[in-house]
Amino acid sequence: MDGITFEYNKKLKPCPFCNGVAWIEYVEFWDKDTWYNPQCSVCLCGWRENYETKDEAIEAWNKRK
């Protein structure tokens, strides 16, 4: 795995559980496969599903789907 990056994004709504600030976890693997996963920076709740784009991850988090 090449790396994991956490990025704050103003488009993300606060956490539905603790009202904490959310971020996007971006993971890039050695074979250049990547995925995005939204999660709370406070209580660390997040989605188990990974998304191919940042916009998909933001939409899922904000719609809670």
Cβ atoms within 10 Å of 30's Cβ, excluding its own: 8
Can you give the pLDDT at residue 1? 44
Domain count for the chain, please give it. Answer: 1
Neighbouring residues of 7: CB distance < 8 A, sequence distance ≥ 6? 23, 24, 26
- The domain of 44 spans 3-63
**8: which strand partners?**
23
Per-residue pLDDT of the chain (65 residues; tens, 9 = 90+): 457 778 888 999 999 999 999 999 888 876 667 889 999 999 999 877 889 999 999 999 999 75
Could you tell me if 7 and 34 are in contact, meaning their C-beta atoms sit under 8 angstroms apart?
Answer: no
- The pLDDT, as a whole number, for residue 2 is 56
Calculate the CA dihedral of residues 19, 56, 51, 46 and round it to 10 degrees.
10
pTM of the entire predicted model: 0.80
